[in-house]
Amino acid sequence: MSHPVVNISALKLNSFGPKDGSERFGASIGEIGEVIGSKGLGAMYVRVEQGKRAFPFHNHLAADEMFIILEGSGIYRFGDQEIPVKAGDVCAAPKGGPDTAHQLINSGDSTLAYIGISTMPDPDIVEYPDSGKFSVTGIAPGLDFWSAHFRHIGRKSESYEYWDGEEG
């Protein structure tokens, strides 16, 4: 079993974001939940530099999330709101439709650091209102989003009829 305690300063941080050196997206992320042996509750430590955001604006249809701001400041996009946040603030991101879509943006003058906590439903469906995409992920034990057993990212316009391809 994993050790049930980890200090944030001991986490291995991995670069996260588009491989093209995006101006908008980029973060350093350290896994917490997996490191301490959590099975049904995920947690990660996220560091975002000035002007960036770690993730696209999105909402989960099955997962609830919460963000605890540890340092820095930024904007919390939530539905159609933009809410200033700073160290000590806690942000809710309940499951739901685009009205619960969320994103943290570092609009401050120093690094924004926060802990993201999430229920871990399997499968999960995520919508991305800014780009009109969705993702469906069936993770399976021991895997993450990127190595999931089943993962599809698409747009609703690519939809098929229920019986398409079933008659031969």
* Amino acid at residue number 14: N
In whole angstroms, what is the distance from residue 40 CA to residue 47 CA?
Answer: 23
Single pTM value for the model: 0.93
Rounded mean pLDDT of 67-83? 98
- The yes-or-no verdict on residue 86 having pLDDT over 60 is yes
Encoding tokens for residue 71? 């340092």
| 96/29 Cα distance (integer angstroms) | 25
Ranges of beta strands (E only) in the chain are: 14-16, 27-31, 41-48, 59-60, 65-71, 73-78, 81-86, 90-93, 102-105, 112-119, 124-128, 133-138, 150-155
What mean pLDDT is predicted for residues 117-127?
A: 94
Percentages helix, strand, coil for the chain (3-state, rounded to 5) are: 10, 45, 45
pLDDT digits (tens, 9 = 90+) for 19-45: 888 899 999 999 999 899 998 899 999
Domains defined along the chain, listed by start: 8-13+26-121 (2.60.120.10)
Residue 94: both structure tokens together: 């309940």
Is the pLDDT at 168 greater than 90? The verdict is no
What would the two tokens of residue 107 be?
A: 């609009």
